[in-house]
Amino acid sequence: MTLNMSGQIAADDITGIKKLDPARPVYLLVGDSGKVVVKNEITNLAHDPRNMRYAMRNMKAVDPTMATKQLTSSELDAIAQWAELKRVEAELFQKPLDGDINTLSQSLVIPNTAWVKTNFFEGLINLESAAAQLKATGDKSGVRAIAAALTAPGGLEKLGQIMAVDCFNGNDDRFDFSQMPNCAPYNRLTNTGNVAVCLQDNILRPVGMDAWSGSSASRYLDQPPSREWTGVRLKDDQRAWRAQVAAEAAADIEAVLGPRNRRNPFGSPDRLPKNAGQRIAAGMDQGIATLKTKLLNMYAPNQRPPGLQARIIALGWAIQTRAGVQPAPPMGLPPRR
């Protein structure tokens, strides 16, 4: 069978693995036909896996590449069986066990975690690896590729869409949307590893990977929003605040990318355009509109999860009337009674 998002992972499908992140349990499963990425997220409460699914679906509204599914128990068993088979083979033939396989076996038994699978992102480059490559070897190819992908038409706007969904999801593992962020040395950037681009239709574009934070105080999308919920910043009257956040995010990315060495003394050393913040803010508005449409159409009003329903009403995307919950009327029109 083929390793992909739609099929069930079976032990016979796997021919090899590779650990993709040196610090976190993220693995590429490779088969004779196809490949898929599996990773686990720390969960502290029984309903966290459900919150994760809501968050991933929200991100998929603006980034179709972010198709993500939680692994079933049978899929986890299949991966564990494959890893155990490789361990037995290594002992039988007196060969050392591949370090990534050993690490995978240890990761599979970590308690209070939820495993998900997602597509393999071809050509993935993130700010963290690109900056490390530049510092270690002077190789600028990574930072140049990211700058080009963001500067291209729709690039910074796509990042803004991703940020809007992060804000709704309460995800602070990319940018901090709080009133008083604490992410020194940056203004808003919290995780350079999660600002990334990958090949989409053979073009490098921003990707909304890791759309859920297991440590965020406002991650509970299955419950009414708390005071910490950052999604309130998506309201129409918060455009000025979003413009400021977008400008600060652009400045942070610029700082990580580093200046260009220009022979022309009158040339700008910046890698991003001067209107980068404005383009990100425009993308946030686009993301808000897309997410609003998605959530209003995903469920019937009386079948929406209560937490999402409460957020939709809090943002003014829908209203509660005597007849039930209905989409908010266009600006300037009274609600239907």
196-224 pLDDT per residue, tens: 999 998 999 999 988 888 777 778 888 88
Residue 120 has pLDDT above 60, yes or no: yes
Compute the average pLDDT of residues 120-146: 93
| CA gap 157, 178 in Å, rounded | 21
The pLDDT value recorded for residue 267 is 61
The pLDDT value recorded for residue 301 is 67
| CA gap 21, 26 in Å, rounded | 6
The tens digit of pLDDT for each residue in 8-50 reads 999 999 999 999 887 788 899 999 888 999 988 766 555 577 8
Neighbours of 303 (CB within 10 A): 8
The pLDDT value recorded for residue 260 is 81
The tens digit of pLDDT for each residue in 155-182 reads 999 999 999 999 999 999 999 999 888 8
DSSP symbol at 8: P
The pLDDT value recorded for residue 248 is 97
Structure-model confidence comparison of residues 318 and 187, the more confident one: 187
Q: What percent of the chain has pLDDT over 90?
A: 59
The pLDDT value recorded for residue 48 is 72
The pLDDT value recorded for residue 46 is 53
The structure tokens listed for 53 are 């699914």
Q: How many CA atoms lie within 13 A of 83 on its CB side?
A: 22
Neighbours of 185 (CB within 10 A): 7
Q: For the chain, give the mean pLDDT.
A: 88
In order of 9, 114, 145, 211, the CA distances from 317 in angstroms are 39, 31, 37, 22
The pLDDT value recorded for residue 50 is 80
Residue 321 has pLDDT above 80, yes or no: no
| CA gap 17, 3 in Å, rounded | 12
Residue ranges covered by each domain of the chain: 11-118, 125-300
The pLDDT value recorded for residue 329 is 63
The CATH number fitting domain 125-300, selected from 1.10.1070, 1.20.1280, 3.40.1710, 1.10.3470: 1.10.1070
pLDDT confidence tier of residue 264, bands split at 50, 70 and 90: low
Of 72-86, 232-246, 311-325, where does mean pLDDT reach its minimum?
Answer: 311-325
The pLDDT value recorded for residue 333 is 47
The pLDDT value recorded for residue 3 is 84
Alpha-carbon Rg for the chain, nearest whole angstrom, is: 22
Structure-model confidence comparison of residues 219 and 289, the more confident one: 289
Compute the average pLDDT of residues 83-102: 93
The pLDDT value recorded for residue 110 is 82
Compute the average pLDDT of residues 39-68: 80
Distance of CA 76 to the CA centre of its chain: 22
pLDDT confidence tier of residue 325, bands split at 50, 70 and 90: low
Q: Which of 36, 31, 268 is nearest to 151 (CA)?
A: 268
pLDDT confidence tier of residue 334, bands split at 50, 70 and 90: very low
The structure tokens listed for 12 are 């016979």
Compute the average pLDDT of residues 241-255: 97
Q: Which of 121, 148, 122, 8 is nearest to 67 (CA)?
A: 121
